[in-house]
Structure 1
Amino acid sequence: MNKNCVLVQAHKSIPYIFNLAKLNPNVNFYIHFDKKSDINIISGGGTPENIIILSDRVNVQWGGISQVEATICLLLEALKNPENMFFHLVSGECLFIKDFDEIQMANNQPELFMDVRFSTEFTYRVRFDCIFSDSKYLKSLIGKCFVKFNKIVDKIFPLNKNEKLYSAYGSSWFSINRQGLEMLCPYIHKEMPFFKYKVCPDEHFFQYIVYKYNLMEFVKENKRYLVWCGNHPKYLELEEILNVRSKSNDIWVVRKVTCDVALNYLTN
């Protein structure tokens, strides 16, 4: 049986995901809770059989390689089940607006529904290491000064090669079929050491791999909807979500969404 599976990175209670799992018993849900989180907060009548909570948990630091490590833990765990054919990476603030039985992916060739863009604004992240990237000190004064220095050097001494490779970036939330994930696996392990001390590697890691190894032909539209407000996506209201669902057949997931809005959506 070809199954969808949902891979969730979370740091707090996610009742929407638990309810979604109960409504979709043929979909497997894999959840990684930040190691700093108390998973005893997860309650609500027990865990459905189709939810797997990862026991190998990563201490996730914003802006560090640990975010990528948590993603890889989810992908590799889900890949162990041969029935899982379609993989959807989401955060605890994502909401599915497409029924799983309506989600279409190929099962005979790789498909990556991934956001891949290019901007020289972010080349410094991939070009230079930052020893504070996976620690609490990234947001400290010394960490911010370190990052600022890298930005300045990148502007003064621009790249004359590999510019497009280092400028590849995009959302860390994507969907992929089994053939696509199996295609990426060797490169994932190969490139992890390079990204160990990069800043915000979750926004570059998979895009870097796709471009470096000439896999762009397999990249499809991301199937996500979000609205930027400054440097961060804004929280969507229920009315806007329903409007997106009614007008677009190409969107599978919207973000960001509060817990209350997500639960209200399930009742509509």
Structure 2
Amino acid sequence: MVAKKHAYLIIAHHQFEQLNFLVSLLNHERNDIYIHIDAKVKDDQFCKLQADLKRICTKSGLYFSERVDVHWGDYSQIESELKLFQATVGIDEYYYYHLISGSDLPLVSQKVIHQFFDKNPGKLFLTMANKDQRAIYERVAYHYIKPQLSVRSFRSKTLKKGIRFFRKCEVRINRILKIDHYKQFDTELGYASNWVSIDKKMVDLILENTKLIYTIFSKSLLCDELFIPTLVNKYNLKEKIAYDHIMSNVPLELQGNLRYINWWDGTPYTWTDSDKDLQELKAAKKAGHLFARKFDLERYPKVKDFILSEVNSDL
């Protein structure tokens, strides 16, 4: 029996030495690797990265998707994900698709990851999140002016305050006018972490609905956390979600997408090489998490040896 292949879809915009390390850990005969590099990255940097990664990928197929100029909180985040899903079409029939960031690292070997998904065919691995129902709904109910502008667009505290005030005014005006662009779609809005592991059937549904996704989300805010779970609702696929409990954002809680992300200490927290953090990552692995984020190996280079030790201990 031929082993079924996996597609890793990576979104990255900086820290390319760390990206090289990540790809080296994913380099396996059962994996193909697809990478989206932000269009803001200069061409010479991109070309060097391509050459470096081609040398690293001795076992996996390596592909680069069409590049998008990504802005936090904007539809361009969804667009970059769609470009990655589209890049896989015609290459292979993948068993699972793992959407991760360049700041993620695996906590286990590829052998463990493949064995886990071999035992869980057809399941969707999403982290269902806590939500203020009204605030989440208003992300798509209203059409926002220049949604690519957010507090992360500016360094100036004054400008950050200005954009917050502007968005509050937008929301208030839309509330007063009782605008609701979403009600026409007659589908329950979903909310989950944007980092997912999903099967081919779900990817096919995403690609079949690219026009609908654009129509609903192109003028919304923080929409990358909404479009996949909304399609899950539209097609009544909730029973396929492996862990459908709502995350409480507490340490060592199993997160449904199997990526251990620390939201209780940051937005999210960056793991350090402190003994406390490394012990928590070990406990997260033991609890069943396959990946963690986010990491910064430039600031905490000792984490690299820790990750190598954890991954190699499974071989």
Question: Among 167, 170, 184, which residue is 1:147 paired with?
Answer: 167
Asked if 1:21 is matched to 2:26, the reply is yes
Aligned-partner SS, 2:62? strand
Assess, with a 3 A threshold, how the Cα gap between structure 1 residues 41 and 242 changes in structure 2: closer, same or farther. Answer: farther
Length-normalised TM-score, structure 2: 0.72
Asked if 1:178 is matched to 2:218, the reply is no
Gap regions ≥5 residues in structure 1? none
**Could you tell me how far apart the structure 2 residues matched to 1:158 and 1:70 are?**
29
Question: Among 32, 35, 51, which residue is 1:31 paired with?
Answer: 35
Aligned length: 264
| Residue in structure 1 matched with residue 141 of structure 2 by the alignment | 127
Length-normalised TM-score, structure 1: 0.83
Q: Which amino acid aligns with 2:32?
A: N
Assess, with a 3 A threshold, how the Cα gap between structure 1 residues 228 and 136 changes in structure 2: closer, same or farther. Answer: closer
Asked if 1:206 is matched to 2:228, the reply is yes
Asked if 1:62 is matched to 2:72, the reply is yes
Gap regions ≥5 residues in structure 2? 244-256, 272-276, 310-315
Aligned-partner SS, 1:194? helix
Aligned-partner SS, 1:113? coil
Aligned-partner SS, 1:31? strand
| Residue in structure 2 matched with residue 9 of structure 1 by the alignment | 11
| Residue in structure 1 matched with residue 293 of structure 2 by the alignment | 255
Question: Once the two structures are superposed, what CA deviation does each residue of 1:115-166 show, in whole Å capped at 9, x if it has no partner?
Answer: 234531322111111121135798465643442124435766698x96x966
Assess, with a 3 A threshold, how the Cα gap between structure 1 residues 133 and 35 changes in structure 2: closer, same or farther. Answer: same
Identical amino acids, percent of aligned pairs: 24
- On the 8 A contact 2:125/2:258 being kept in 1, the answer is yes
Asked if 1:46 is matched to 2:55, the reply is yes
Q: Output the aligned Cα RMSD.
A: 3.2
Greater mean alpha carbon deviation, residues 32-41 or residues 87-96: 32-41
Assess, with a 3 A threshold, how the Cα gap between structure 1 residues 98 and 183 changes in structure 2: closer, same or farther. Answer: farther
**Could you tell me how far apart the structure 1 residues matched to 2:189 and 2:174 are?**
12
Q: Which amino acid aligns with 1:96?
A: P
Question: Once the two structures are superposed, what CA deviation does each residue of 1:236-266 show, in whole Å capped at 9, x if it has no partner?
Answer: 2433222322x31x21211112233552234
Assess, with a 3 A threshold, how the Cα gap between structure 1 residues 185 and 44 changes in structure 2: closer, same or farther. Answer: closer
Larger Rg: 2
- On the 8 A contact 2:144/2:221 being kept in 1, the answer is yes
